[in-house]
Amino acid sequence: MDFKSITVKTYIEGLRAGACSAVEAVETYLANISARDEVLHAYLETYGEEACAAAARVDEEARERNNPKPLLGVPVALKDNMLVAGHRTTAGSKILASYTASYDATVVKKLRDAGAVIMGKTNLDEFAMGSSTENSAFGPTKNPHDISRVPGGSSGGSAVAVAADMALVALGSDTGGSIRQPAAFCGVVGLKPTYGAVSRHGLIAMASSLDQIGPFGKTVEDIEAVFNVIHGGDPLDATSLPAGQVGMSDQLRVTDDKLKNEKVLCIGIPREYFGEGLAPEVTKAMDTVITRFEELGFKTKEISLPHTKYALSVYYLVMPAEVSANLARFDGVRYARIPEAQEAKTLRDIYELQRGYGFGAEAQRRILLGTFVLSAGYYDAYYAKAQKVRTLIARDFDNAFKEVDVILGPTTPTPAFKFGEKTQDPVQMYLSDIFTIPANLAGIPAISIPVEKYNSPVGGESGSPAGGLPIAFQLMAPHFREEDLFALGREYDKAYRK
């Protein structure tokens, strides 16, 4: 079997038919990691022996003709902010470099129960804070299409693992675009589910009202297969919702029938997503995508999301405030102490040395900003006002979805940028997420899909592939309408990304 061209569906079919084995698949991906990851640095840790042993068990199960496991033998990479019992979980930070998880995150347990094989942990911006994976304490990850360029962030390692054939699918977390933006830069598909659709138990929190775990894959069908396994309620996460409220409902089945038979589903085009700051090649690609959907028989309609212009400002007040609260726990007392704080004499010394040397520059910047906006005298002026505008942004989407079924726009304003290009100007870096942040503020699902199908380039070779760097479009839907995104995405994949 050609492991460069397989999908989740074709792999599982091949496994059950005896055309390949799970051990063969895992060994192929491990060989790819060995050959390519010294340059790309997608992984922080691989579970070679453990993955091979799990694959051997899968091969025994595959001999059972009617094995129902939906991800039987599928090799999966995990962003290193999700706990795997008995393994290191660093969140890309020096402050957790020696922390070993004592339990599996809920998504990890669900993957294992579905038959998936965990390949290892992938690199990320420290505590998921960044848009380029340049902020990892363990070094940057490189874009497989051009190693002089960033893979996006913060889930850059997971996106690269899929794009470079080092895992069939992967999980990341998305707080303001951290799945969709690296998916766009690396030419793969990435989904941010509805807030509450997937349990966050066992995910190291960055901003709890925004974080959401989601999958990467090569096709929309791959994403759907993983989502169908990981979504659903969890008694260990009070923000998660029961499976019956997510995915396929009676209403969605009607929508899917209409999609197949009448093509009446209407796509909204927000004028605010097509203005100043959009690279010419992205504008051209979006025009192509809109034309293609119209050729497929879908209606398009221009809409307005008037408070979009405030989304970036709102996000960089709400998110740092939650970061300030969530990262307070890493104080050198409850988790492993870093070497620089070992000789501390007082509690104050422990705090100062642990946090001063343990957190990187971007984490410190966001903690300081968040603490400031929550402080007496500034809470009402900044944080409370930002929450009110966040409500207006969510209301914009509610109003838009009265007119259209889904919303289409660019995932990012530019293709992947070069290393160091934006690190000296944090605001320019933050602008990379300008089109992805609104979906997180509103809690709605959104998926990033490449405009074209990009084949993985030769490992370690600099230079972008023929046709330039990957460019992606984004589809957004009302809460718990992931199936609408999958239905549209499957149609696009079938017609234009074969």
Global pTM reads: 0.94
Low-confidence ranges of the chain (pLDDT < 50): 246-254, 458-466
pLDDT at 116: 98
Give the C-alpha separation, 444 to 268, whole Å: 15
180, 158 Cβ separation under 8 angstroms = no
pLDDT at 498: 79
Give the C-alpha separation, 332 to 330, whole Å: 6
Encode pLDDT of 76-100 as tens digits: 999 999 999 999 999 999 999 999 9
Give the C-alpha separation, 120 to 44, whole Å: 8
Q: In what order do the strands lie in the sheet with 266-270?
A: 43-46, 117-122, 75-79, 169-173, 213-217, 189-192, 446-450, 472-476, 406-410, 266-270, 299-303
Percent helix, percent strand, percent coil in the chain, to nearest 5? 45, 15, 40
Q: How many CB atoms lie within 10 A of CB 68?
A: 8
382, 364 Cβ separation under 8 angstroms = no
pLDDT at 255: 52
Q: DSSP letter string over 116-153?
A: -EEEEEE--SGGG--SSS---TT----BTTBTTB---S
pLDDT at 249: 37
The domains located in the chain, with CATH, are 8-246+445-496 (3.90.1300.10)
pLDDT at 254: 41
pLDDT at 449: 98
Q: Is 132 a catalytic residue?
A: no
Please identify which of the residues 93, 158, 173, 178 carries the catalytic annotation.
178
Please identify which of the residues 69, 79, 121, 192 carries the catalytic annotation.
79
Q: Is 79 a catalytic residue?
A: yes
Please identify which of the residues 136, 154, 155, 456 carries the catalytic annotation.
154
Q: Beta strand 446-450 with 299-303: parallel, antiparallel or unpaired?
A: unpaired
